Amino acid sequence: MSPEAREPQLRLPAAAAPTNGGGDIFGGWIMAQVDIAGSIPAVRRARGRVVTVAVQSMHFRKSVQRGDMVSIYAQIAQVGRSSMTVDVEVRVERNPVQPETLVVADARLVYVAVDADGRPRALPPE
């Protein structure tokens, strides 16, 4: 990730997240957090409302466990006329006694800037 993505867009504990029978956090919960985090740089770049139009990829590398501290990093990878492709990386901090940081997932999403009626609009100049 580039220098502007060194600070997480979203940081939250996985303590209250829903888990499966094995005690791991559901992938759907991770996906929802990825979408929220990815939208933050997209909204900033669009200077307004955006909608998610595609999840081009979503890879789960390792499980997220109850008690992990989840940090989600996002940066804009490509910009079109009204759309932006955003790369997202999910990391967890685990085991406070002997801390370790793991990359647990990554994704690529596409957002489109929309007007008040939900129609695509051109992105403003940078």
Q: Running DSSP on this structure, what letter comes out for residue 30?
A: H
Cα dihedral angle (40, 79, 70, 12), rounded to 10 degrees? 0
Domain residue ranges of the chain, discontinuous segments joined by +: 3-113
For the segment 12-24, the average pLDDT, to the nearest whole number, is: 89
What is d(CA 89, CA 126) in angstroms, rounded to the nearest whole number? 24
Q: What gap in Å lies between CA 31 and CA 106, rounded to an integer?
A: 10
CATH H-level superfamily of 3-113: Hotdog Thioesterase (3.10.129.10)
* Claim: this prediction has a pTM higher than 0.85: yes
- Tens of pLDDT, residue by residue over 34-66, are 999 999 999 999 999 999 999 999 999 999 999
In sequence order, the β-bridge partners of residue 59 are 106
**Would you mind telling me the total number of residues written for the chain in this entry?**
126
Residue 119 has pLDDT above 80, yes or no: yes
Most distant CA pair in the chain, distance: 51
Residue 27 three-state SS:
helix
